[in-house]
């Protein structure tokens, strides 16, 4: 759903009517077609009959809550990524709604993620096999649940999700309003915490593209050995020195959100020479994703939030090589929790436990989340990567006007 960019015209309208900086200060988020507010306007303009029939606009989990309990509710974490919430006051952004003529009665009631919003109704019990009256805890958005499932529950804790997309999120006690609007804010499952976040579009997605379009030989070798193709690709990348012999990859295959927020950005391999092989491209992709994420990490630290270590989850976290690269690119210790793929579900389960009183608060996650591996940064590699990181940023800034020109070409 977040990849659906059809509402870009509506996002531009919001930026003109509200102002990008004003919108960011109120909602803690940039104007973006990924958010619900733009999609509501698109629906109103393009499918007015559907818009008029719509009683409430709900997130996917909230629709399930409705079917289980009959209640129209949403939590602060999902609401804060809709572009409809005043992130500072933790209430609907009434001024924005009025200016855009979005009726407040089309939005659900706001509740904490730990709220018991009702019990399972008899009709839902018959369909699901669950006991009637079983308490239903609201829960939260995927990122907020993943934070708890990774054990990120205290100020300064951070985690890095590596899947098709990737994000770094920290635990803070208030929204972080970045002067350059590189990061966005969502409420934590803990109603006393916020999860400022920076999300890039194509992390594991870039590695998957490389696997499918470039690494046919590695895929065939993996089939012969009966292993995952990424395992073979990682082994090839390990044969290359850190820095990929000066090949730099810009991972912007679908434009970019954090830190540049540029839908026109495109992927680039820079520095290719005759002596380079596929293995150099493989390692460059892993490093390029980490360079982009380092910009996000530094945006947090510019707000005087000190991050000492980062927990990593998601499918990409299975790669020992990628974890090593992260540690030395970021200059931070990388912690690997027991649950990489299940952290989001684990966080939701902890929220349910807090909601019904099994756990006192979310600090219990520190005990429940076990760390299976630790990767410390190599100081010498950090210095080497820092030089290439400077070129990575310079390369993007040099290409930014060309991206804009390329997007305007009619060929």
Q: Are 193 and 346 in contact (CB under 8 A)?
A: no
83 and 106 inside one domain: yes
Task: Indicate the pLDDT class of residue 1, thresholds 50, 70 and 90.
Answer: low
Residue 376: inside a domain, yes or no? yes
66 is in which domain, residue-wise?
1-140
For 90-145, write each residue's pLDDT tens digit: 999 999 999 999 999 999 999 999 999 999 999 999 999 999 999 999 999 999 99
Domain boundary residue, one of 140, 171, 186 = 140
User: Which comes out higher in pLDDT, residue 263 or 75?
Assistant: 75
Domain boundary residue, one of 140, 164, 183 = 140
113 and 191 inside one domain: no
Tell me the pLDDT of the chain averaged across its residues: 97
- pLDDT > 90? residue 411: no
281 and 155 inside one domain: yes
- pLDDT > 70? residue 206: yes
For 41-71, write each residue's pLDDT tens digit: 999 999 999 999 999 999 999 999 999 999 9
What angle, rounded to 10 degrees, do the helices at 278-301 and 229-237 form? Answer: 90
Give the pLDDT confidence score for residue 2 in this predicted structure: 64
Residue 349: inside a domain, yes or no? no
Give the pLDDT confidence score for residue 54 in this predicted structure: 98
40 and 187 inside one domain: no
91 and 135 inside one domain: yes
Give the pLDDT confidence score for residue 151 in this predicted structure: 97
Residue 218: inside a domain, yes or no? yes
Task: Indicate the pLDDT class of residue 4, thresholds 50, 70 and 90.
Answer: confident
- pLDDT > 80? residue 258: yes
* The total number of structural domains that make up the chain: 2
185 and 87 inside one domain: no
- pLDDT > 80? residue 184: yes
295 and 325 inside one domain: yes
58 and 104 inside one domain: yes
Task: Indicate the pLDDT class of residue 343, thresholds 50, 70 and 90.
Answer: very high
For 21-44, write each residue's pLDDT tens digit: 999 999 999 998 889 999 999 999
Residue 353: inside a domain, yes or no? no
Residue 399: inside a domain, yes or no? yes
112 and 203 inside one domain: no
Residue 223: inside a domain, yes or no? yes
Task: Indicate the pLDDT class of residue 337, thresholds 50, 70 and 90.
Answer: very high
Task: Indicate the pLDDT class of residue 239, thresholds 50, 70 and 90.
Answer: very high
Residue 352: inside a domain, yes or no? no
Give the pLDDT confidence score for residue 115 in this predicted structure: 98
Give the pLDDT confidence score for residue 248 in this predicted structure: 99
Residue 108: inside a domain, yes or no? yes
Query: Residue range 351-373: average pLDDT?
Result: 97
Give the pLDDT confidence score for residue 34 in this predicted structure: 84
Domain boundary residue, one of 122, 140, 158 = 140
For 209-220, write each residue's pLDDT tens digit: 999 999 999 999
193 and 161 inside one domain: yes
Give the pLDDT confidence score for residue 352 in this predicted structure: 98
* CATH number, position 398: 3.30.420.40
164 and 26 inside one domain: no
Give the pLDDT confidence score for residue 3 in this predicted structure: 67
156 and 129 inside one domain: no
């Amino acid at each position: 759903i977040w990849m659906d960019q059809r509402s870009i015209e509506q996002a531009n309208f919001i930026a003109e009517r509200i102002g990008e900086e004003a919108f960011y200060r109120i909602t803690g988020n940039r104007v973006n077609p990924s958010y619900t507010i733009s999609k509501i306007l698109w629906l109103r303009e393009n499918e007015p009959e559907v818009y008029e029939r719509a009683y409430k606009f709900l997130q996917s989990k909230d629709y399930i809550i409705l079917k289980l309990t009959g209640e129209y509710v949403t939590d602060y974490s999902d609401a804060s990524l809709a572009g409809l919430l005043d992130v500072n006051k933790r209430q609907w952004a009434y001024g924005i709604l009025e200016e855009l003529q979005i009726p407040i009665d089309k939005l659900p009631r706001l509740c904490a993620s730990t709220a018991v919003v009702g019990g399972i109704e008899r009709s839902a019990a018959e369909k699901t096999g669950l006991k009637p009256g079983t308490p239903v805890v609201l829960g939260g958005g995927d990122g907020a649940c993943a934070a708890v499932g990774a054990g990120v529950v205290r100020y300064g804790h951070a985690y890095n999700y590596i899947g098709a997309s990737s994000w770094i999120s920290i635990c803070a006690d208030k929204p972080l309003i970045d002067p350059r609007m590189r990061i966005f804010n969502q409420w934590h499952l803990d109603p006393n915490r916020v999860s400022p976040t920076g999300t890039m579009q194509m992390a594991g997605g870039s590695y998957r593209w490389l696997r499918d379009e470039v690494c046919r030989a590695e895929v065939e070798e993996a089939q012969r050995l009966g292993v995952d193709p990424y395992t073979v690709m990682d082994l090839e990348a390990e044969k290359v020195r850190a820095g990929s012999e000066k090949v730099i990859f810009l991972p912007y295959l679908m434009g970019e959100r954090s830190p540049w927020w540029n839908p026109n950005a495109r992927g680039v391999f820079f520095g290719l020479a005759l002596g380079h092989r596929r293995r150099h491209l493989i390692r460059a992709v892993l490093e390029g994703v980490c360079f982009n994420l380092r910009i996000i990490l530094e945006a947090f630290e510019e707000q005087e939030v000190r991050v000492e270590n980062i927990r990593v989850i998601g499918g990409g976290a299975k790669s020992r090589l990628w974890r090593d690269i992260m540690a030395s690119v970021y200059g931070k210790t990388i912690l690997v929790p027991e649950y990489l793929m299940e952290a989001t579900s684990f966080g939701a389960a902890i929220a349910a436990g807090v909601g019904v009183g099994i756990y006192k608060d979310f600090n219990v996650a520190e005990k429940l989340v076990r760390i299976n591996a630790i990767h410390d940064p190599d100081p010498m590699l950090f210095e080497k990567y820092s030089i290439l990181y400077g070129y990575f940023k310079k390369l993007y800034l040099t290409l930014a006007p060309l991206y804009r020109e390329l997007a305007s070409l009619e060929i």
